[in-house]
């Protein structure tokens, strides 16, 4: 039913990871360049630092949780169907957050155990 990328962004720009407006703008742009249909956007800044947010798209979602104190962000890109290319969004996010180290796991979602089709998940994939 869909592809789910779990992306680790490590050794990122600390100041950027704590800038609510910039994090939101980068996530929205990632959805746009991946050709997603944006439905809603919600982001929250924690005190003293850290941001969580989601870009809800017709094809599913992009979400982020940042830990500026560790220079780290966890990103999920879940896309249903074949039109959206989550790896395009992932590569954009790596560039924008200036991640020096990255890793990603791709999971195929909605693989039904009784379908007779083997479940194949790819790990890791290149995003940087």
- Mean pLDDT along residues 100-123: 73
Check residue 84 and give its pLDDT: 82
Asked if the model's pLDDT at residue 53 lies above 60, the reply is yes
pLDDT band of 55, cuts 50, 70, 90 = very high
Asked if the model's pLDDT at residue 109 lies above 60, the reply is yes
Can you state the percent helix, strand and coil of the chain, rounding each to 5?
Answer: 25, 40, 35
| Active-site choice (42, 61, 63, 80) | 80
Top-confidence residue, 104 or 111: 104
Check residue 118 and give its pLDDT: 58
Annotated active-site residue 60? The verdict is yes
Check residue 58 and give its pLDDT: 92
pLDDT in tens, 59-106: 999 999 999 999 999 999 999 877 788 899 999 999 999 999 999 998
pLDDT in tens, 20-39: 999 999 999 999 999 999 99
| Active-site choice (12, 60, 61, 79) | 60
Q: DSSP string of 48-101?
A: SS-EEEEEEETTEEEEEEEEGGGTEEEEEEEEESSS--HHHHHHHHHHHTT-SE
Annotated active-site residue 65? The verdict is yes
Check residue 82 and give its pLDDT: 76
CA 44-83-6 angle, to 5 degrees, is 45
Instruction: Tell me the whole-structure pTM to 2 decimals.
Output: 0.85
């Amino acid at each position: 039913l869909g592809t789910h990328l779990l992306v680790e962004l490590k050794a990122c720009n600390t100041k950027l990871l704590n800038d609510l407006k910039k994090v939101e703008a980068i996530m929205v742009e990632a959805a746009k360049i991946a050709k997603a249909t944006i439905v809603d956007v919600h982001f929250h800044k924690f005190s003293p630092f850290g941001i969580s947010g989601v870009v809800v798209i017709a094809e599913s979602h992009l979400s982020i949780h940042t830990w500026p104190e560790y220079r780290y962000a966890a990103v999920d890109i879940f896309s249903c169907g074949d039109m959206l290319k989550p790896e395009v969004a992932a590569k954009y996010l790596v560039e924008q957050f200036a991640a020096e180290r990255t890793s990603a796991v791709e999971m195929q979602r909605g693989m039904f155990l009784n379908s007779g089709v083997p479940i194949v998940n790819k790990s890791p994939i290149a995003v940087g």
